[in-house]
Amino acid sequence: MVQFSDNDLKLLKRETKAFADLALVLRDGTPQVTPVWFDWDGTYIIVNTARGRVKDNVLKRHPFVALAISSPDNPYRYLQIRGHVVQETEAGAYDMIRSLNEKYHGKYEYPKRPGEVRVTYKILPERVSSKT
């Protein structure tokens, strides 16, 4: 398991409300970067999406990712993480997106869209670098 510095851990805290830029590699080899809400459970970076979206399709096929998390107060302070998906589940995924909405907007609610199926991915950090 990688070691995070105290400053790194501050960026991962729910109270910080930092966004993560999630980098993926598409089927044709080109990069795809998406800002995402995330959570940290002390071991895994947790992201949530809907089935059929680009993130979902790529993560199922190619579970290796990079994330860049910048401080909301100082974009020159950032954390880079490389890792891979260790779990994908629909169980509890709607509750997870509600929890993420609470983190970023203060409300434990999220609209249920007809036919939308939420999925949660857990990412195990394998390499970490930061500028603090």
pLDDT in tens, 27-84: 999 999 999 999 999 999 999 999 999 999 999 999 999 999 999 999 899 999 999 9
Non-local CB neighbours of 69 within 8 Å, separated by 6+ positions = 11, 12, 18, 19, 20, 21, 38, 78, 79, 80, 81
6-131: CATH topology: Pnp Oxidase; Chain A (2.30.110)
Q: Which residues pair with 48 in a beta bridge?
A: 120
pLDDT, tens only, 100-126: 999 999 999 999 999 999 999 999 999
Buried b (16+ CB within 10 A) or exposed e, 49-82: beeeeebbebbeeebebbbebbbeeeeebbbbbb
* Domain range summary for the chain, segments of one domain joined by +: 6-131
If residue 79 lies in a helix (H) or strand (E), which one and from where to where?
A: strand 78-89
Indicate the pTM of the whole model: 0.95
DSSP letter for 68, please. E
